[in-house]
């Protein structure tokens, strides 16, 4: 207590000055609209910044739920779109009824081999069978190779043994896509005759002739055309529409009419 009194007596002028200064500032701020505005604006800015950071943190940790919700909505929209197309074009081979889709998560994905495979978390108990097509929101992924009760492996489009039946959208020319084992972003477009007029940028889509995919699922776009080859066909390269480095969710195509179609073709 003695030390406190000694401190106050020694610095009484300074203490009195800062006390009066504080009282003066308080009185001025109460009377001045501008200063009050500055004070409240500063408070709002600080609190607003805090809540913004807080909201960003909560949003980050809820991204998983949001992504799952969006994927389920995408699946629902894909099924609805397929049913709508079947009503609008009932005579179209690729746009007919009997199509459904099962969502799956990618749990393994190889990219650096000549024959790449993808593993998903859906299997026999979920309705998956061999030789079903697999797509994503961006385009073709591959086809089901092997199935267990809870998992399946997919022959990736990035597999040199996988040939996909396709159509050049602008010319309706039948073709085939095959990966040459080089870049995971590019593939070869095969069996396109040289008399077909082509341009860089033309779209390549599924034909549905192989009974794996609905009609006109994106595969890629033409990026290079070389007709100076000793063949009746172009040497064509396409950019694959799907980024295989970042796939996380896929949709397995369930075609209830596929077996009927295959049995009929076998009889021929």
In a shared domain, residues 21 and 110? no
**Closest C-alpha among 63, 60, 61 to residue 248:** 63
Token digits of residue 2? 């003695």
Q: Where are the beta strands (DSSP E) in the chain?
A: 99-109, 115-120, 133-135, 140-147, 152-159, 163-168, 173-178, 186-190, 203-206, 218-226, 235-240, 249-255
Token digits of residue 255? 């075609």
| Among the ranges given (183-187, 222-226, 230-234, 264-268), the one the predictor scored with the smallest mean pLDDT | 264-268
Task: Find tokens 């610095």 and name the residue.
Answer: 11
Task: Give the model's pLDDT for residue 209.
Answer: 84
Dihedral sign for Cα 224, 112, 167, 192, please. Answer: positive
In a shared domain, residues 134 and 9? no
Specify the number of domains making up the chain: 2
**Closest C-alpha among 186, 137, 128 to residue 157:** 186
* Model confidence pLDDT, tens digit, residues 139-157: 999 999 999 999 999 999 9
Range of the domain at 213: 66-267
Q: How many angstroms separate the Cα of 70 from the Cα of each of 17, 83, 135? A: 63, 20, 16
In a shared domain, residues 19 and 105? no
In a shared domain, residues 166 and 153? yes
| Among the ranges given (3-17, 89-103, 249-263), the one the predictor scored with the smallest mean pLDDT | 89-103
CATH number, residue 176: 2.40.10.340
Residue 164 bridge partners (DSSP) = 177
Average pLDDT estimate for 4-17: 66
Residues 6+ apart with CB under 8 A from 161: 115, 155
Confidence of residue 44 (pLDDT cuts 50, 70, 90): very low
Average pLDDT estimate for 84-104: 58
In a shared domain, residues 87 and 186? yes
* Model confidence pLDDT, tens digit, residues 118-139: 999 999 999 999 999 999 989 9
In a shared domain, residues 50 and 82? no
In a shared domain, residues 52 and 73? no
In a shared domain, residues 81 and 157? yes
Q: How many angstroms separate the Cα of 146 from the Cα of each of 127, 143, 163, 203, 240? A: 13, 10, 18, 31, 24
In a shared domain, residues 162 and 207? yes
In a shared domain, residues 44 and 168? no
In a shared domain, residues 94 and 144? yes
* Model confidence pLDDT, tens digit, residues 173-186: 999 999 999 999 99
Cα separation, 163 vs 142, in Å, equals 10
Of all residues in the chain, the percent with pLDDT exceeding 70 is 66
Q: How many angstroms separate the Cα of 200 from the Cα of each of 170, 175, 197, 222? A: 11, 16, 11, 5
Cα separation, 11 vs 200, in Å, equals 85
Of the candidates 37, 61, 85, which is a domain's last residue?
61
What's the chain's average pLDDT? 80
Q: What is the dihedral of CA 246, 70, 153, 127, to 10 degrees?
A: -170
Of the candidates 61, 88, 109, which is a domain's last residue?
61
Task: Give the model's pLDDT for residue 119.
Answer: 96
Residues 6+ apart with CB under 8 A from 39: 29
Length of the chain, please?
Answer: 268
Cα separation, 78 vs 125, in Å, equals 22
Task: Give the model's pLDDT for residue 77.
Answer: 61
Cα separation, 134 vs 253, in Å, equals 6
Task: Give the model's pLDDT for residue 89.
Answer: 44
Q: Quick check: 137 and 177 in contact, CB under 8 A?
A: no
In a shared domain, residues 235 and 140? yes
Q: Quick check: 193 and 212 in contact, CB under 8 A?
A: no
Cα separation, 99 vs 79, in Å, equals 8
Residues 6+ apart with CB under 8 A from 266: none
* Model confidence pLDDT, tens digit, residues 51-89: 556 556 655 555 666 566 666 666 666 655 555 444 434
Please tell me whether residue 267 adopts helix, strand or coil conformation: helix
Task: Give the model's pLDDT for residue 210.
Answer: 81
- Residue 9 reports pLDDT greater than 60: yes
């Amino acid at each position: 207590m003695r030390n406190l009194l000694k401190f106050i007596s020694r610095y009484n002028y300074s203490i009195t000055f800062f006390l009066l200064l504080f009282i003066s500032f308080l009185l001025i701020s109460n009377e001045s609209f501008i200063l009050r505005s500055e004070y409240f604006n500063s408070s709002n800015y600080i609190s607003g910044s805090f809540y913004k950071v807080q909201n960003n943190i909560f949003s980050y940790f809820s991204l998983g739920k949001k992504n799952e919700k969006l994927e389920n909505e995408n699946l629902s929209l894909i099924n609805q779109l397929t049913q709508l197309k079947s009503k609008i074009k009932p005579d179209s081979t690729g746009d007919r009824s009997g199509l459904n889709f099962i969502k799956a998560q990618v749990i393994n994905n190889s990219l650096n081999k000549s024959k790449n495979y993808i593993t998903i978390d859906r299997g026999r108990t979920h309705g998956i069978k061999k030789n079903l097509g697999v797509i994503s929101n961006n385009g073709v992924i591959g086809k089901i190779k092997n199935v267990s009760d809870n998992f399946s492996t997919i022959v990736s489009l990035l597999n040199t043994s996988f040939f996909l039946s396709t159509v050049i959208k602008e010319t309706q020319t039948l073709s085939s896509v095959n990966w040459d084992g080089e870049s995971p972003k590019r593939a070869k477009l095969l069996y396109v005759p040289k008399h077909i007029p082509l341009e860089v940028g033309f779209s390549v889509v599924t034909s549905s002739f192989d009974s794996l995919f609905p009609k006109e699922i994106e595969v890629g776009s033409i990026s290079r055309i070389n007709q100076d080859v000793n063949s009746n066909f172009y040497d064509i390269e396409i950019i694959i529409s799907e980024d295989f480095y970042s796939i996380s969710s896929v949709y397995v195509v369930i075609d209830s009419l596929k077996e009927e179609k295959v049995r009929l073709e076998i009889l021929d």
